[in-house]
Amino acid sequence: MKPFTYALALGLAAAQLVLPARAADITGAGATFPFPVYSKWAEAYRKETGTGLNYQSIGSGGGIKQIQAKTVDFGATDAPLKGAALEKDGLVQFPTVMGGVVTVVNIAGLEPGKLKLTGELIADIYAGKITKWSDPKIAQLNDGLKLPDATITPVYRSDASGTTSIFTTYLSQVSDGWKKEFGAATTVSWPAGQGGKGNEGVTATVKQVPNAIGYVESAYAKQNKLSYALIQNKAGKFPQPDDKAFQAAAASADWKAAPGFGISLTNQAGDEAWPITAATFILVHKEAADAAKSAEVLKFFDWAYKNGDKMATELDYVPLPDNVVGLIHEEWKSVKGKDGKPVLGM
């Protein structure tokens, strides 16, 4: 199913209008990166338990603001908060799945995976320094591939986005020019192109605009049958953007290296590693205003860790290793009600 079909299954309209939730339902808001898998999990969970998930796919920035304001039961972000921010707002952060960001293109007649790009080329395209698909630098890397002498339209996220943070973190790692001029953030001052809201908006814009390039979570490219480029990794290879490549990027990850598991998986070593890989995260309050609702949130994600792996891999997400799930269960013990007791007994 496509993302908007999932939205209807969750009780969202395509315009992200939230319908009234039942008393037992839980509410969340934030990242569009994991929206397809959260939607699939929610559909299965409702059938099994009767509890629904009402999730607003509004971008990581919106999700952070809503959990800070306590208007939702959980927030979702692809740009993990630093330890100081978690401490300031009394939040617990944990990852759910890993996935990859891919560059999708709308070039007539181009099959998926035929175009090759490097991080430096992508940075120059988004910086407005490379403006044509026929540019000699692109042609040199794609010997024998016929590309049009057409103007490239870079498509970017118009909202505060964790996907943008992942993408610009990668560009800053591979391009000193990008790092100096634009840096890595959930929003940057894009010098050229068109904006789209959410992974959904970037997907739709790339589909509509000839010769466009955009960056989206891989499930959106797969579901919408978009052509994508292969990106050269740190080892100089061009792996396919699939769960095997995302798993390879996370193979040596040290999840204890940052508070709230907020590690970076971009530009990792390894022949098979996809260079723009990332985890996505959930935020809940350490002191629960409603212990029952917070417990329901944790029950949902506990169910997903135990039952959702197959659904995740079908969408090219990578489930978390068992040892990481064990660490998350330990972290959940710090989520307590007003009585000081953990909201969920593990």
The DSSP annotation for 59-125 comes to -HHHHHHHHHTT-SSEEEESSPPPHHHHHHHTEEEEEEEEEEEEEEE--TTPPTT--EE-HHHHHHH
| 269 confidence band (pLDDT: 50, 70, 90) | very high
Class of domain 101-252: alpha beta
Residue 346 banded pLDDT, cuts 50, 70, 90: low
Please name the residues in contact with 48: beta carbons below 8 A apart, sequence gap of 6 or more.
Answer: 303
Summarised one tens digit per residue, pLDDT across range 48-87 is 999 999 999 999 999 999 999 999 999 999 999 999 999 9
| Domain coordinates in residue numbering, the chain | 3-99+278-332, 101-252
Question: Is residue 223 packed enough to be buried (19+ CB in 10 Å), middle (13-18) or exposed (0-12)?
Answer: middle
Q: What is the pLDDT of residues 272-331, one digit of tens each?
A: 999 999 999 999 999 998 999 999 999 999 999 999 999 999 998 999 999 999 999 999
Is residue 243 a contact partner of residue 99, using CB atoms and an 8 Å limit?
A: no
In the predicted structure, residue 241 carries a pLDDT above the cut 50: yes
Whether residue 21 is predicted with pLDDT greater than 50 in this model: the reply is: no
Class of domain 3-99+278-332: alpha beta
Query: Are 3-99+278-332 and 101-252 in the same CATH fold?
Result: yes
Tokens of 3: 């993302």
* Mean pLDDT value of segment 221-248: 95
Residue 135 and residue 248 in contact, taking contact as beta carbons nearer than 8 Å: no
Q: What is the pLDDT of residues 150-196, one digit of tens each?
A: 999 999 999 999 999 999 999 999 999 999 999 999 999 999 999 99
Percent of the chain with pLDDT over 70: 93
- Cβ pair 223, 164 in contact under 8 A: no
pLDDT value of residue 16: 38
Question: What whole-number percentage of the chain has pLDDT above 90?
Answer: 89
